[in-house]
Amino acid sequence: MNPPIAAPALYGPVREDLARVEETLRSVRPAEFPALALILEHVLGAGGKRIRPAIALLAGRFNRYDLDLLVPLAASIELLHSATLVHDDVIDVAPTRRGRATANSLIDNAATVMVGDYMFAHAAELVARTGNVEVIRLFARTLMAMATGELHQDMSAYAYGQSTLEYFNRIAGKTASLFATAAEGGAKVAEVGPEAVEALRRYGENLGMAFQIVDDILDFAGDSEVMGKPAGSDLMQGTLTLPSLLLIERYPNNNPVRRYFSGRQRAENLRRCLEMIRDSDILDESFRVAFDFRDRALDALTALPGGEAKDALAEVAHWVTERRS
């Protein structure tokens, strides 16, 4: 099997335009406040796949492709995503993310929270540059959905009796809502017709679900060095994801997840969780669920006219379920 294509190579007709998004993100760092500029450089300079802003730009290709409006939208999407990660790392007391020191490991937690707040505020200012009230309202609703998903996760930490439906609802808010907004927002800024807007929203929503499920699979199956975190990190934070929920369903009695959450022999029970998941077909079953969401995303694209943008969105959908980090 050939190795997965690197994400930026998938973005086709908008690949070069992402440089303008990066330029806008650099402008977030205030020259008059060097300490804040430095920490923002650390957070935003880590790079990343920029999949969400790429989707916003690709959605804009289906009608009026105005970069003066689409670039601020795409940058706001990435800034909103990055701000949530900054706050997540404070909540999780995480020292690293993807092998890099987190903001909260470089400055104190209170200051890091304020950095995240600054990023949220700047993201709102960027989306306001679109001058599109519907898109601004969509941005606000998405922020509420993401916060709700995060609250569900944090308030259910170490709660054993969760269902897969609760899991899907949680990741729909925490992750898929921003993918949906990237696609829908880009389409609305470009004044795409209502049927195409709905198709792109469904594409983004289902792609986001697939993306998060693959993330949760890689937490068990991925290379720890590549992922920049130890295997089983979600369980260590008390978070049940699809693989661990399937393990609970299969072994309702004498389950190592239950023992781990109750605080008994944690190292041994975590090792046992990893072993049981990896030695079964649970990861394969989890991938099948991710593939199903990916296929729903691809099905949504059938309502759109053919062309480079549609082809690139389809390639992104396939990459999401093939990636290994």
Residue 190, Cα to own-chain centre: how many angstroms? Answer: 23
Instruction: Please give the full DSSP string across 277-315, using - where no structure is assigned.
Output: HHTSSHHHHHHHHHHHHHHHHHHHGGGSPPSHHHHHHHH
What pLDDT, on a 0 to 100 scale, did the predictor assign at position 46?
Answer: 73
pLDDT of residue 103: 82
Closest by CA position to 246, among listed 284, 189, 210, 302 = 284
Contacts of 81 (CB under 8 A, 6+ apart): 52, 178
- Which H helix or E strand runs over 157? none
Q: How far apart are CA 163 and CA 166, in angstroms?
A: 5
Distance between CA 69 and CA 128 in Å, rounded? 10
Listed by start position, the domains of the chain span: 7-322
Class of domain 7-322: mainly alpha
C-alpha closest to that of 274 among 290, 260, 263: 260
- Which amino acid is it at 322? E
CA distance 25 to 38: 13
d(CA 202, CA 68): 25
For the chain, 325 residues long, give each residue's pLDDT as a single digit of tens: 444 555 667 899 999 999 999 999 999 999 899 999 999 999 888 767 899 999 999 999 999 999 999 999 999 999 999 999 998 878 877 777 766 888 888 888 899 999 999 999 999 999 999 999 999 999 999 999 999 999 999 999 999 889 999 999 999 999 999 999 999 999 999 999 999 999 999 999 999 999 999 999 999 997 766 566 788 999 999 999 999 999 999 998 889 999 999 998 999 999 999 999 999 999 999 999 999 999 999 999 999 999 999 999 999 999 999 998 7
Long-range interactions of 88-97: CB distance < 8 A, separation 24+: 88/150, 90/116, 91/150, 91/154, 92/237, 96/228, 96/229, 97/46, 97/228, 97/229
The single-letter code of the amino acid at 2 is N
| Degrees, nearest 5: CA angle 129-9-49 | 55
d(CA 51, CA 186): 13
